[in-house]
Structure formats: structure tokens, C-alpha cells
Amino acid sequence: MSLSASEIAAIRANIAARKTRDLIFASIGILCLAVALLTIAALFADMIITGWERFRPGFFTDFPSRKAIQAGILSAWVGSIAVMVVTAVVAVPLGVAAGIWLEEYAPKHWVTDLIEININNLAGVPSIIYGLLALGLFVYTFGLGQSIQTAGLTLALLILPVVIVATREAIRSIPQMIREAAYGLGATRWQTVKDHIVPYSLPGILTGIIIGLSRAIGETAPIITIGALTFIAFLPPAPVTDTAPFLNFEWLKAPFTVMPIQIFNWTSRPDAAFHQNAAAAGAILVAMTLTMNAIAIWLRYRLRKNIKW
């Protein structure tokens, strides 16, 4: 059936109109992205310019002080790294294992549906709630005190739903034919998961982990709730010693502070010199977060490059 000239013209006009709407929508999206990126870049540049005078070696190696010019972030960045180590050690294995079990092993009935709903809801709970939970559970019930291990466990609870959801979404993206091919060659479910599903979904899992850790490193409310110190002039014990068994876990029980707490302490002071310290520390915290994301992007690229479908 041939079309008339008027019908062909109408189809062409319809296609042109749709392309125009697509172009407008894409332009609006690019504009919104540019505004967001420029806002972040402007704020980051403002922090760097404001705190430029504080970017010196002593700022990283000195403890906080009542004199702004002598104050540093040594205890804050060491505490942040220690807390993030505990958070990652607890949240990553539990979150990934829970995501794998829910997606590959859990039977589909109302119990697992209830678990999934609660996990999705927990991902949106305000962080202060986790701080109150940790205060009652870890500090008072278990007697862990206001320590690095308490902070790490608190932030691990905070990011656990994020890791679980990201793991499940990454596993869901694997084509079903991968599983069927493995089963057809005689592989067990565990062999299929270990040798195929997890390696192929690892870039997505890694992305979720880094997103969770990036959120945790900047949290302040739950850390304040469990009693983090705002002024600390010492470091936790070293985790490695020169005597057998060469490992020291006393650092887990040590008092601590973290970068967000230190920044909050400085910004709450009226002296403008401390505001410069806060700006410099904020820029360093952003740089730490960007570094974590850059490492994740690089690892994801390497992993995807090595995957052969």
C-alpha cells in the first residue's frame, strides 16, 4: 500500500517534531548537569581559596590546637581512616554475602519479600537514627564504649542496605543464559556463583561499595551521637608492633575523632582563622572522597576490560 504525499509529509513532520523534543530534553539534561557540576566546582574552589594558607605539611602532621595557625588534622584524618577500615571490614562481606543470598539462594515467599522491603526502607532511614541505635546497642548494651570499633560498626549498619541493594542490582544485570550455560556444563550453584556471577557483577558491586563508603566518610550525626571527641591530641595505638604476635587490636578501643567532627568544631568558632582551617579540611575531605571514587572507576574499568563474555 503506497502512501500519499500528504501522509509522507505528516510522518516526516512527526519524526522531525520528535527529534526536536529529544534534542530539547537532552539539552535540558546537559544544562542541569552543568549547573550541578559548576556549583560543586565553585564550592570546592572556594574552600581551596579560603584555606589555601593552611595547605602546608604541618597541617597534616599537627594535632588540633587552641591557636588556629598551629592547628592540624592529624588525629582527624587518622581517625577517619581507622573508622573506615572497620566499616569496610564489617559492611562489605556482610552486604555482598546478603545480596548474593537474596538474589541467588533465597526462596521466593513472603519472608524474603518482607526482608527486601525492610532493606529498601532502611536505605532511606536518617543517619541520626543509626546513631541512636548504636548508642543504645553498642555503647550501653554491649559496653564497647565511645571507640573506633563503635563508630565503625555504626557506619557499617548505615551503609549495609546500600551495599546489599547495589549487589543485588549488579547480579540482576547478569544474563540468565550465563547461569543456564554453567548448569548445562554440570556446574553446581555455588560454582556458578563463584566463577561466573560474582566476577561478572563485581564492577557493579564495587560501585555500590564505594558509594556507601563515600557516604560514610562524610557522616557527622551518628558519630556525634555515639560520643566522638571534638578535640583530641593523641593517636590510637599502632595496629602493628615489633613483638609477637605483631598485631595490636587496642586501637579499636581508643577514643577518636574524624574529619567531619573536626570541621564542625572549627566552623562553630567565631574566629575567622578557624574558618580557614575548616575550609582547608573540607577541601581535603572532598579530595579523599574523590580519590575513593577515582580508584573505584579505575578498578571497574580494569575488571570490565578483563571480563570476557
Contact, 279 vs 50, CB < 8 A? yes
Collect contacts of 81-85 with beta carbons under 8 A, ≥24 apart: 82/148, 82/152, 82/236, 82/251, 82/256, 83/148, 83/151, 83/152, 83/155, 83/223, 83/256, 83/258, 84/152, 84/155, 84/213, 84/216, 84/217, 85/152
Q: How many CA atoms lie within 13 A of 255 on its CB side?
A: 9
The pLDDT tens digits for 240-259 are: 777 767 777 788 888 888 88
Contact, 214 vs 292, CB < 8 A? yes
Dihedral sign for Cα atoms in the order 182, 188, 193, 194: negative
Residue 107 is predicted with a pLDDT of 82
How far is it, in rounded angstroms, from Cα 76 to Cα 258? 4
Cell numbers standing for residue 167: 549487589
Cell numbers standing for residue 20: 526536536
Cell numbers standing for residue 287: 579530595
How far is it, in rounded angstroms, from Cα 258 to Cα 83? 8
The pLDDT tens digits for 209-236 are: 888 888 888 888 888 888 777 778 777 8
What's the Cα-to-Cα distance from 6 to each of 12, 16, 20, rounded to whole Å?
10, 15, 21
Cell numbers standing for residue 132: 541512636
Cell numbers standing for residue 237: 595505638
The pLDDT tens digits for 96-143 are: 999 998 888 888 877 888 888 888 888 778 888 888 888 888 888 888
Q: How many CA atoms lie within 13 A of 129 on its CB side?
A: 9
The pLDDT tens digits for 42-101 are: 988 888 888 888 888 888 888 888 888 888 888 888 888 889 999 999 999 999 999 998
SS3 163: helix
DSSP state of 98: H
Asked if residue 38 has pLDDT above 90, the reply is yes
Q: How many CA atoms lie within 13 A of 118 on its CB side?
A: 7
Residue 2 is predicted with a pLDDT of 65
Q: For domain 56-306, which CATH number applies: 3.40.47.10, 2.60.40.790, 1.10.287.610, 1.10.3720.10?
A: 1.10.3720.10
- pTM here is 0.83
Cell numbers standing for residue 58: 604541618
Q: How far apart are the first and last CA of the chain?
A: 44
